[in-house]
Amino acid sequence: MATNAHTGPMLKVENIHVYYGNIAAVKGISIEVNAGEIVTMIGSNGAGKSTTMRAISGLIAPRRGVIEFEGRKISGMPGHEVTALGISQSPEGRRIFGRMTVDENLDLGAFLRNDKDGIAEDREYVYGLFPRLKERIHQKAGTLSGGEQQMLAVARALMGRPRLLMLDEPSMGLAPMLVELIFNTIRQIREQGMTILLVEQNALAALDIADRAYVLESGVVKQQGSAKDLAASDDVRKAYLGG
């Protein structure tokens, strides 16, 4: 993969505050993601995980604080510009285009690109990652199973050839066997050099594949550290791992 001259974290979120109307959803969150890492944000519903991701994606502007990507300030930048810089998100709830085919959804993932050969290469790459999608290439995305729709959402995000891939709740609503498949695929994507920020309700699965983790609670970072240490922490186990 191309090396970047920027030193320091690839993504730096510093003390951001995000509001929905008068309600503070995020109250001063700071996180960092280094190139080549899987970093996960875990926490219960309403902890501020997805809102933090939306702020990074440019879907919502933080009222205070700064977000930098590869040394460049991106907070307040519109979503399409953030995507053009190399950040792709597979959103919570998948948000695929149900009336379009699998292949057409992948085309949309590459809409900011014009390198035909590269797009063709990446299409083969994602069909290699998710052979089930290749079998359903001309099928309307709305008729796919939940697991297949999740695969499509990840594949579509990869078609942008991002340097940072953000995955919001990839295991939501999936059967355990499919959860395992999705997480194995995330591991595989990282082994090929991708940097990943993962928001996940399934704390155990997330900590199992991540390098580092942030535990969010009511819009603040409650704990942070190596995923291994947090998985072993009594507090985290009691609150999120059911043990």
Domains and CATH numbers, the chain: 7-85+164-169+195-243 (3.40.50.300), 87-161 (no CATH)
CA triplet 65, 68, 70: central angle to 5 degrees?
170
Q: What is the pTM of this model?
A: 0.91
Task: Give the H/E segment covering residue 174.
Answer: none
Please enumerate in sequence order all residues whose Cβ is within 8 A of that of 117, keeping only pairs 6 or more positions apart, or say none. none
What pLDDT shows up at residue 239?
81
Task: At 165, list the tokens.
Answer: 């891939």
Q: Which of 6, 182, 201 is nearest to 86 (CA)?
A: 6
Could you give the CA distance from residue 45 to residue 216 in angstroms, rounded to a whole number? Answer: 10
By CB atoms closer than 10 A (0-12, 13-18, 19+), residue 23 is: exposed
Could you give the CA distance from residue 123 to residue 101 in angstroms, rounded to a whole number? Answer: 14
* Digit-coded pLDDT (tens) for 125-183: 999 999 999 999 999 999 999 889 999 999 999 999 999 999 999 998 888 888 898 99
* Digit-coded pLDDT (tens) for 172-223: 888 888 889 899 999 999 999 999 999 998 898 999 999 999 999 999 999 9
Query: Are the C-beta atoms of residues 41 and 214 closer than 8 Å to each other?
Result: yes
Residue 18's beta-bridge partner residues? Answer: 26
Query: Are the C-beta atoms of residues 240 and 42 closer than 8 Å to each other?
Result: yes
Q: Which of 102, 202, 87 is nearest to 155 (CA)?
A: 102
